[in-house]
Each structure stands twice: as structure tokens, then as C-alpha cells.
């Protein structure tokens, strides 16, 4: 048996291999490839204490923004130099296409450079207090120690969404990667150290046990929680943070609609429908898992969609010819199977796929389902797999009603050449992101986040800074007069 690669946790100035380890399984080979440390409660407490000390007594919080920016830019350079190795670690952890992971990791330096450019621009304001004997001003200060909890599908991208703005404003962080994909984040920690960040500014804990995340979120020394993952876990995280009144930002699930109108460029729309759901094997929070197609073009769009779906190449995610890799782990594959069974039981017609890929146990064929009732769980709930539900609509009103007819509100796509309709739909759809004639495009300058059960808070853009800053009001009395101590003056 080939020796396993190994990683350690970064806690303060120390690298810890852990007293116990667990294995990360390569979804394509089904074999363990990496040994990672299982954090104990003491490890978690030490990581939080290191972040607390670095924030309260270290140089990071009071460091001029321009100096923090220099370190963020140095980190960006190191990511650039190590992008291919980091991307391969993610592919081996979660089975996503290596070419997609390379594109993601290679995009990350721009995120750090963007927030480096904002690090020395955290300005307050002077306020007219309405009193001639007072000057008032507002300071914007870092909120403190941030707990960042990550999923397995795009670890470094989603980590960057959280820590680039947090570090830029002067927060310190403790990061918990998913037990299904710890490699890239723990190796990223090595780059943080190499870039010269002070000890305790960036800490990591990991483990298979769900208690690791609970210990972290419930620590009274954590000032802010930022979580990306399922709605079920997100509710638990928010409740645990609320026990010690720590604010939380949550990026949760979705059941996003990709809407095709009759006047759309149909070739582009079909490509967008495929990208929205079958890229990353549907394992994406913004997956366009519901296709709404206007009746006048429904037959031709569905025919083209089914034909192209049946030709999707599945296989080794490291092979450039592969278009869809495996499902990340057994529990997720079971969930996809279960939802396809629900779709069949509810009267759904399987137009493509619907099962695992022959003898390739960890692959699920790209699947299209039509005819689901609106009450079906397969129509209403997030599957997080390569399953697209298709429905026909007649007019704009019906399209909006169908698109908004779930508890979620993360994303939506609109395919139309009618500019007036495009702007109307952008306003009417309940979604944090609306793409017009595109899908699954993200950028560091555009805020990202959800509504309803898709969560709250925003990542990316200047708006992300607000998640990690708190306002302090300062009153300065100028006259020197002694006021009546028994009135509000």
C-alpha cells in the first residue's frame, strides 16, 4: 500500500499532527490518500486562545492597514506559485474536475489583492451630534476572533470568501475544514506562515467528529461565526453561536431556477442549463437544479438538453477530457439515490440518467426529471447532485411564481433577449444573485449570499467588510462645562 500523505493543524506558532488521525478518501479511486489530524477539545480551545491572544495583544489588530495589505499580497503570490498543487489536493479530496479546481485556485490571488486594496481604507466618519458642545465620530473596528466553518465542495474558494475580508480589516481566524476535504486548507496554512502572518492570526482545527465544530462555535471567545454548508447544520451553528451572542453569517442551501424564455439564444441557454447543474456534478450551492422552459420552445430545448446530457463524459477528474467526476463521498451518493427514488415515486419521468454509472459505484449519471408535482421533495429540496428537474411555463407571471415557489433564495438564471424582461425579472426574483444570459459566474467584487432559507450575510465585494467590522461611537465634550448629573445631556 502506498504511504499516505500527511498534514498538520496550525495552532498559534505550532504545527500539531494530533494524537489521533483520520483518512481522506479519494472519491475516484475509493482509496485513502491523506492522513489528517483529529482535533481534541484542547486543540480547539488552544486554537481559539491563540486567535484571542493575537487579536487582543498581538500586532495584527493595530497594524496599519497598508502593512496587512502587504502580507495579503505576499500570500496571493504564494497561492499563485502553488496553485496547481493546491488544486490537485482538492480534486483528490472531493472528486471535482482538476481543470475546474485549477481555475478556482488560480482565481484566488485576485481576491486577496482586492481586499488588500481595501485594508487601508477602513474609514469612520464625523457626525453632526446636534449639540454645539460635542464632536462625535464613528470608528470602524474589527469584530475580533472569527470561526470559519467550511464545506467540502470548494474549500479554498469558500475559505477565501471569508478570510480575505476578515484578515484585511484586522480580525483573527480559526478555520475548520470539512472532514471530507481537509487537505487544501491545511496546506494553505503553510503558505500563510510562509507569507509572514503573525502567529495566531490564522489557525486550523479539523476532524471527523461533529463535536469539533461544536466546540469551536460554542466557545465564548469567538466573536463571529461564518458558516457555509447545509441548512440543517446552519441552524445548529446559528443556535450555538447565539448562546454566547456571537453574530453568524450563513451561506446555506438552494433550489435555484434557471429560466429559459422563448426569445432566448437557445444554444446559449442549453449550455447554461448544463453548466448550472452538471458542472461539479451538481455539488454546488448555486446549482441551477430547476429548469423552467417556456412552452413555445420547450420541446426543442428539452430535446437538445437530453441529447447533450447523455453525451457527458464521466471519469477520472484529473483527465482533461472528463466533464463530470464522481460524487464526493458515499453519504452524498446515498442522498442523490434517495431523491431520485422520491422523484420516481412522485410520478417524475426520467428523461436521462437516473442511476449510478454501471460498475463505477461512486458515479451518478447526469439525470433529468420531468413532470414532478410542485409538492414533491425532489422539486422543493436541495439534492446537491447531478439531478435537474424540468418544468414548462406559459408566461412571465407563471415563471416568477414557480421560481420563487421554494423556501430558498440564493440564485437564479434568466435567458432572454428582451432587455425589459431581464430587468423586470432581476427585480422580481427572490435571490441574492441573478444571472442574465449566464450562470455560475462569481467574482471578488460582487457580493454573494442568500435570502430566506439560503442564509444571511454577504461575502465578496466591499459589502463583505461589514461582516467583520463593528461601529464604535465616540463623543468628545469641548466646552468643559459641568452639566446636571441627573439628566441626559
- The catalytic residues are 251, 285
C-alpha cell at 33: 490518500
**Bridge-partner residues for 203, per DSSP?**
174
Residue corresponding to grid cell 430535446: 303
C-alpha cell at 358: 454501471
Nearest to 288 by CA among 278, 298, 300: 278
Helices (H) then strands (E): counts for the chain: 14, 23
Residues 306/365, Cβ–Cβ less than 8 Å: no
DSSP 8-state assignment for residue 467: G
**Distance separating alpha carbons of residues 182 and 42, to the nearest angstrom:** 19
Ramachandran region, residue 130 (left: φ > 0; alpha: ψ -120 to 50; beta: rest) = left
Q: Where are the beta strands (DSSP E) in 195-305?
A: 202-204, 224-228, 248-251, 257-260, 290-294
Residues 248/143, Cβ–Cβ less than 8 Å: no
C-alpha cell at 210: 461533529
C-alpha cell at 134: 460635542
User: Which helix (H) or strand (E) segment is 140 a member of?
Assistant: strand 134-142
Residues 65/73, Cβ–Cβ less than 8 Å: no
Query: How many alpha carbons lie under 13 Å from residue 43 in its C-beta half-sphere?
Result: 26
User: Which helix (H) or strand (E) segment is 356 a member of?
Assistant: strand 356-357
Amino acid at each position: 500500500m502506498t504511504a499516505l500523505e500527511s498534514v498538520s493543524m496550525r495552532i498559534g506558532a505550532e504545527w500539531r499532527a494530533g494524537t489521533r488521525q483520520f483518512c481522506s478518501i479519494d472519491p475516484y479511486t475509493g482509496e485513502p490518500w491523506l492522513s489528517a489530524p483529529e482535533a481534541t477539545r484542547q486543540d480547539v480551545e488552544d486554537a481559539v486562545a491563540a486567535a484571542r491572544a493575537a487579536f487582543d495583544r498581538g500586532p495584527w489588530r493595530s497594524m496599519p492597514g497598508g502593512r496587512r495589505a502587504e502580507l495579503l499580497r505576499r500570500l496571493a503570490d504564494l497561492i499563485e506559485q502553488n496553485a496547481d498543487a493546491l488544486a490537485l489536493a482538492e480534486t483528490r479530496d472531493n472528486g471535482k474536475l482538476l481543470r475546474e479546481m485549477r481555475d478556482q485556485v488560480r482565481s484566488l490571488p485576485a481576491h486577496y489583492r482586492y481586499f488588500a486594496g481595501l485594508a487601508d481604507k477602513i474609514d469612520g466618519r464625523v457626525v453632526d451630534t446636534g449639540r454645539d458642545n460635542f464632536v462625535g465620530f464613528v470608528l470602524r473596528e474589527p469584530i475580533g476572533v472569527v470561526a470559519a466553518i467550511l464545506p467540502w465542495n470548494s474549500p479554498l474558494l469558500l475559505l477565501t470568501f471569508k478570510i480575505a475580508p476578515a484578515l484585511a480589516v484586522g480580525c483573527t481566524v480559526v478555520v475548520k475544514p470539512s472532514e471530507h476535504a481537509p487537505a487544501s486548507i491545511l496546506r494553505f496554512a503553510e503558505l500563510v506562515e510562509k507569507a509572514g502572518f503573525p502567529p495566531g492570526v490564522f489557525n486550523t482545527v479539523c476532524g471527523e467528529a461533529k463535536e469539533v465544530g461544536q466546540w469551536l462555535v460554542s466557545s465564548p471567545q469567538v466573536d463571529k461565526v461564518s458558516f457555509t454548508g447545509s441548512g440543517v447544520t446552519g441552524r445548529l451553528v446559528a443556535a450555538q453561536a447565539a448562546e454566547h451572542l456571537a453574530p453568524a453569517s450563513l451561506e446555506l442551501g438552494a433550489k435555484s431556477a434557471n429560466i429559459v424564455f422563448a426569445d432566448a439564444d437557445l444554444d446559449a441557454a442549453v449550455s447554461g442549463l448544463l453548466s448550472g447543474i452538471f458542472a461539479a456534478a451538481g455539488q454546488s450551492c448555486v446549482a441551477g437544479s430547476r429548469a423552467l422552459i417556456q412552452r413555445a420552445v420547450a420541446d426543442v430545448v428539452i430535446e437538445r438538453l437530453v441529447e447533450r446530457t447523455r453525451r457527458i463524459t464521466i471519469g477520472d477528474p484529473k483527465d482533461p477530457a472528463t466533464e463530470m467526476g464522481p460524487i464526493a463521498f458515499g453519504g452524498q451518493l446515498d442522498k442523490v439515490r434517495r431523491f431520485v427514488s422520491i422523484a420516481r415515486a412522485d410520478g417524475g419521468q426520467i428523461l436521462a440518467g437516473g442511476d449510478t454509472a454501471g460498475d463505477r459505484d461512486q458515479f451518478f449519471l447526469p439525470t433529468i426529471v420531468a413532470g414532478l408535482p410542485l409538492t414533491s421533495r425532489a422539486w422543493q429540496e436541495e439534492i446537491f447532485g447531478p439531478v435537474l428537474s424540468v418544468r414548462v411555463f406559459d408566461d412571465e407571471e407563471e415563471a416568477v411564481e414557480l421560481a420563487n415557489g421554494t423556501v430558498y433564495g440564493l440564485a437564479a438564471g434568466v435567458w432572454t433577449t428582451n432587455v425589459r424582461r431581464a430587468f423586470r425579472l432581476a427585480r422580481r426574483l427572490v435571490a441574492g444573485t441573478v444571472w442574465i444570459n449566464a450562470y455560475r459566474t462569481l467574482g471578488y467584487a460582487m457580493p454573494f449570499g442568500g435570502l430566506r432559507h439560503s442564509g444571511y450575510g454577504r461575502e465578496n465585494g466591499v459589502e463583505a467588510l461589514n461582516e467583520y467590522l463593528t461601529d464604535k461611537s465616540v463623543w468628545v465634550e469641548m466646552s468643559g462645562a459641568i452639566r446636571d448629573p441627573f439628566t441626559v445631556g
